[in-house]
Amino acid sequence: MIYLDNHATTPMDPRVLAEMLPWFSQRFGNPSSRGHALGWEAEEAVENARAQVAALLSVRPDEIVFTSGATESNNLALRGILEASGPGPHHVITAATEHEAVLAPCRKLSERGIRVTVLPVSPQGGIDVSELASAITPTTRLVSIMAANNEIGTLQPLDTIGRLCRERNVLFHSDVAQAAGKVPLDLQAAGTDLASVSGHKLYGPKGTGALFVRSGVTLEPLVEGGGQENGLRSGTLNVPGIVGLGKACELAMLELQGAAANGTVPLRDLRDRLWERLTARLPRIHLNGAADGRLPGNLNVSFDCIKAESLLMALDGKVAISTGSACASTGGKPSHVLAALGLSSERIDGAVRIGLGRFNTPEEIDRAATLLCEAVEHLRSLSPNWE
């Protein structure tokens, strides 16, 4: 199989696994155990990982809270801010293309009487910052806009949004799970107050993540207990997972600085190579999302007269791609992201998400292009709608 579903999850980097292994067995201490060496070394490992995550985001280590992933981080950010805001009318602003891990908590907040504004997006998937500015009111407590979309890869202007929110005295949260480690992020400079990260999106372990909480921002915890993570996320820390997350962030920093894994071709070049091969052979294919200003490894493509599900079946497991967000794919619903772009139902039905990753090679990309083209041509030959 040629794996091109790296937006759903990335394979763990072998260097991450090697870093984690000792913490499952020989170094099994609880970082909350302050009375002996096993606890001390576990605490030191956790703090080292905290610094590694902070460095990737350009924030302070004491502003990092470890979680189980971006879904938990998003919920802690949104619900935690609103719980800490006390009684009174409150308002939240988000966008139509956000991940369900943001939209679902927003729906819950709406059920509790909190007003939620969902901004539309352009046909390329970007928000209009002037519309955001117009939507902010004196009761607006939080703006939540993701850094990079998990389906179409569109990048949002974090610096501009952060500056606007700072001027209006509104908190700004961003789900940066897809962007972290793939594009440079300086959350302090961008004026971001909260940001969510997931380990398995950047070649780390599943079930790990973090929430950046800018110093001075107050949250109500979702989980009460032993007071770990400054009281924001009680429970015994997952030391092996946290160590793995930290190592993954360290390696991502090296990648961003140009030290590509195994000397591989940059993702942007591989992505463009795949797109060029597809368009050279296949007529009537469409790029969904922004042509520029998208994640370097992302392609979201629609093929006329093709059902995406049929294409996946025709590939017969030889190429791993998806029809949309892996987190929502079990629901059987059309992509809310592509619908928000204003695409026709036919174009949505024919859309596949391709996510290139660190370990893909030019040879794999060429082979994947051939297999995709052959599958599309075969399905079109069977379609009465294809001319």
Show which residues are catalytic.
327
Look up residue 215 and give its two tokens: 């110093």
- In this structure, which long-range contacts are made by residues 21-25, counting pairs with CB atoms below 8 Å and at least 24 apart in sequence? 21/240, 23/239, 23/240, 23/243, 24/240
Q: How far apart are CA 264 and CA 11, in angstroms?
A: 16
Q: How far apart are CA 147 and CA 180, in angstroms?
A: 9
Look up residue 316 and give its two tokens: 């017969």
Amino acid type, 184: P
Neighbouring-strand partners of residue 294: 154
Question: Is the Cβ–Cβ distance between 244 and 203 less than 8 Å?
Answer: no
Listing from the earlier edge strand, what are the strands of the sheet with 351-355?
285-287, 298-303, 351-355
User: Which of these, 323, 261, 298, lies nearest to 178 by C-alpha position?
Assistant: 298
Look up residue 5 and give its two tokens: 């579903």
Look up residue 272 and give its two tokens: 């463009």
Q: Calculate the alpha carbon distances from 238 to 35, 43, 200 in Å.
A: 19, 11, 15
Q: How many helices (H) and strands (E) does the chain have?
A: 12, 12
Question: Is the Cβ–Cβ distance between 154 and 290 less than 8 Å?
Answer: yes
- CA angle (257, 261, 267) in 5-degree steps: 75
Query: What single string gives the DSSP state of each residue in 305-367?
Result: T--HHHHHHHHTTSEE-BSS-TTTGGG-PPPHHHHHTT--HHHHHTEEEEE--TT--HHHHHH
Q: How far apart are CA 181 and CA 188, in angstroms?
A: 16
Question: Is the Cβ–Cβ distance between 189 and 159 less than 8 Å?
Answer: yes
DSSP state of 16: H
